[in-house]
Amino acid sequence: MIQNVTIIGIGLIGGSFALALKEKNIAKNIIGVDNNEENIEKAKTLGLINEALTLEEAIQKSNLIFVAIPVDATISVMAKIMPLITKNQIVVDAGSTKFDLCKMVKQYKNGNRFVATHPMWGTEHSGPQAAVNGAFEGKACVICNKENSAKDALETIENIYKKLGMHLVYMNAEAHDVHAAYISHISHITSFALANTVLQKEKEDDAIFELASGGFESTVRLAKSNAAMWVPIFKQNKENVLDVLNEHIVQLRKFKSCLEKENYEYLYELIDDANKIKRIIK
């Protein structure tokens, strides 16, 4: 059992992590740090945290610091955290991009107290009230550049995620960011763009959403995700996201061309190809 765990950013991920730490008896005292006073109050009311402290107070008191804020803020907060960290403390993040962060943390004297992780879970909601029990159960957690982390720090974090029911996947930060672009970032862009496509049409036609059915809801669900989280991700992972977005537009153009040329045989093939996704998702 860890005595004091600080969670920086007590929203969807931080809040769900707090719930999991309590449920699995991993942490005794959970300290919340959040710029947003309202979030702190909600987190207390919801029982996510035991106390709230300033960043400096929290770092001094904590054995483990978990950072779950937008990826641009992570970079600047980490610049405050890392110089204060001793060899007995561990810092871990949960961000959706890893390359810039790992490069930056490596420069610090006690940089090996940091473990770079990406628990692959999230919803389109945000804030402490979005926190969910058992959120990470059965999901993948990526650990990046593990050779840069101290052995004991890495093992502690591995054990926590395992207790949460996650299976661990190891890769370097660069590979992570490429994969995340394909598996997560592009899905968000297509959802945002699809929402905008339909909302554009709605301006001239009120009735359009009367027909919205399950298929529409599932493809457009992620479009409810917030800009404050996603703009920094797209910014940090710009090159990879652009590569995938270009490829995606190429794939969409194939459908367009089939229709324009009335080449239904090739359209059939494209759909058959897409069906191969069954192999991967249940």
| Residues in 217-276 that interact with a copy of itself by CB under 8 A | 217-227, 230-231, 234-235, 238, 241-242, 244-249, 251-256, 259-260, 262, 264, 267-268, 270-276
| Residues in 81-110 that interact with a copy of itself by CB under 8 A | none
Nearer to a copy of itself, 40 or 234 (CB): 234
Minimum distance of a copy of itself from residue 172's CB (angstroms): 11
For residue 171, state whether it binds a copy of itself (rule: CB under 8 A).
yes
Nearer to a copy of itself, 28 or 248 (CB): 248
**DSSP secondary structure string, the chain?**
-EEEEEEES-SHHHHHHHHHHHHTT-EEEEEEE-S-HHHHHHHHHTTS-SEE--HHHHHHH-SEEEE-S-HHHHHHHHHHHGGG--TT-EEEE--S--HHHHHHHTTSTTGGGEEEEEE----S--SGGG--TTTTTT-EEEEE-GGGS-HHHHHHHHHHHHHTTPEEEEE-HHHHHHHHIIIIIHHHHHHHHHHHHHHHHHTT-GGGGGG--HHHHHHHGGGGS-HHHHHHHHHHTHHHHHHHHHHHHHHHHHHHHHHHTT-HHHHHHHHHHHHGGGGT--
Minimum distance of a copy of itself from residue 138's CB (angstroms): 11
Minimum distance of a copy of itself from residue 127's CB (angstroms): 14
Minimum distance of a copy of itself from residue 122's CB (angstroms): 7
Residue of 3, 66, 169, 172 that binds a copy of itself (CB under 8 A): 169
Nearer to a copy of itself, 2 or 270 (CB): 270
Contact predicate 119/139, CB 8 Å: yes
Question: Residue 229 is which amino acid?
Answer: M
Minimum distance of a copy of itself from residue 12's CB (angstroms): 12
Number of residues that bind a copy of itself (CB under 8 A): 91
Phi, psi of 34 (to 5 degrees): -155, 135
| Residues in 11-70 that interact with a copy of itself by CB under 8 A | none
For residue 1, state whether it binds a copy of itself (rule: CB under 8 A).
no
Nearer to a copy of itself, 84 or 270 (CB): 270
CA-wise closest residue to 62 among 72, 71, 54, 70: 54
Minimum distance of a copy of itself from residue 20's CB (angstroms): 16
What distance separates the 2 farthest-apart alpha carbons in the chain?
67
Minimum distance of a copy of itself from residue 237's CB (angstroms): 10
Nearer to a copy of itself, 24 or 235 (CB): 235
Minimum distance of a copy of itself from residue 199's CB (angstroms): 6
| Residues in 114-153 that interact with a copy of itself by CB under 8 A | 120-123, 139-140, 142
Task: Single out the segment in contact with a copy of itself by CB under 8 A; choices: 87-95, 106-114, 151-159, 195-203.
Answer: 195-203
CA-wise closest residue to 248 among 266, 225, 274: 274
